[in-house]
Amino acid sequence: MNKLELVLITGMSGSGKSVALRALEDAGYYCVDNLPPELLLSFVDLQAQATNTTNRCVAVAMDVRSGQSLPLVPAQLRALRQRGVALQSLFLDSTTDTLVRRFSETRRRHPLSAMPERQPPGQGSEAPDLQRALIEAIELEREMLADLREQSLVVDTSAIRAAQLQAHVKALIAAPDSQLTLVFESFAFKRGIPVDADYVFDVRMLPNPHYEPELRALTGQDKPVIDYLAPLEEVGRMYQDIEAFLSHWLPALASNQRSYVTVAVGCTGGQHRSVYLVEKLAAAFAARWTTLKRHRELDSR
């Protein structure tokens, strides 16, 4: 019988957990939303004992709605790994500003918010207090989820659409089993640093193809841009420095039981230099580690 595969979806309220869970359901996973942590081990045992082998892939979503029992989860995850369950834990995160905007647009209340409902139009004098209360609830949620975040692959959903998130989740679960999985991500500094990054490399000092009219509309995946950047000495030095740093420290991270490491490379627009280096780094490390790549700004077009 195949080993039970379990994906835990958790993270900040408003970060897209329902979208991620739908992606797993589309991929054939048996999905359960808001399972109480007290039932997690029993639920996994029941699934492992089931004779129906079509449900060997299971996904569970948990968040702060579980309340006081949430601190149980990190120890439960360690226990499940010791039992031999093929476990992946994904933590969806977004910047506080993004979460505030999403809650404001949808007019939903945060699960930790104790504030009354919004006042009708024309009675908006309490709006600053409501926003302040929402920010405080978000920061409290970060504190409550900090231990769980440490054990998970963090996925920053601040600047991506629902379709992108679904694609990211499907790529992550499709990756081969590995002690360590590398995620290389390009981004634009003007849109903020990804909150899921373990390492951030700034390549804005490199020559910018944006200022070459014939290259402006292209990306770091296109041959003319590659031909422009590849011969440049400073680009080669930057690549060698990043490659040497990661080659030196990744074995130590793997021996420390890290499952995922996200390496973010940023330039001004996230279109040329960072994309080129992410493609080159991902190709170089693919022979040594399970490697994924994503381009935040290109994927959001």
Tens of pLDDT, residue by residue over 49-91, are 875 555 588 999 998 887 778 888 988 988 898 888 888 899 9
| Rounded CA separation 99/135 (Å) | 9
Closest CA to 291 of 141, 190, 172: 172
Beta strand pairing call for 181-188 and 57-61: unpaired
| Rounded CA separation 165/156 (Å) | 9
Across the strands, what pairs with 182? 261, 291
- Residue 13 DSSP one-character state: T
Question: Could you tell me the residue ranges of all domains in the chain?
Answer: 5-110+128-174, 181-299
| Rounded CA separation 125/122 (Å) | 8
Amino acid at 238: M
Number of residues in the chain: 301
Say which residue, 171 or 244, is predicted with more confidence. 244
> How does pLDDT run across 181-206, given as a tens digit for each residue?
899 999 999 999 999 899 999 999 99
User: What is the CB neighbour count within 10 angstroms for residue 230?
Assistant: 12
Distances in Å between the Cα of 34 and the Cα atoms of 264, 285, 300 are 31, 37, 29
pTM (two decimals): 0.77
145: buried, middle or exposed (CB in 10 Å: 19+, 13-18, 0-12)?
A: buried
| Rounded CA separation 85/2 (Å) | 10
> How does pLDDT run across 242-269, given as a tens digit for each residue?
999 999 999 998 887 777 899 999 999 9
From the candidate CATH numbers 3.40.50.300, 3.40.50.1820, 3.40.50.720, 3.40.30.10, the one assigned to the domain spanning 5-110+128-174: 3.40.50.300
Amino acid at 166: Q
| Rounded CA separation 160/165 (Å) | 7
User: What is the CB neighbour count within 10 angstroms for residue 71?
Assistant: 12
- Residue 294 DSSP one-character state: E
What pLDDT is stored for residue 81 in this prediction? 85
Comparing 20-24, 51-55, 285-289, which segment has the lowest mean pLDDT? 51-55
Check whether 126 has a pLDDT greater than 80: no
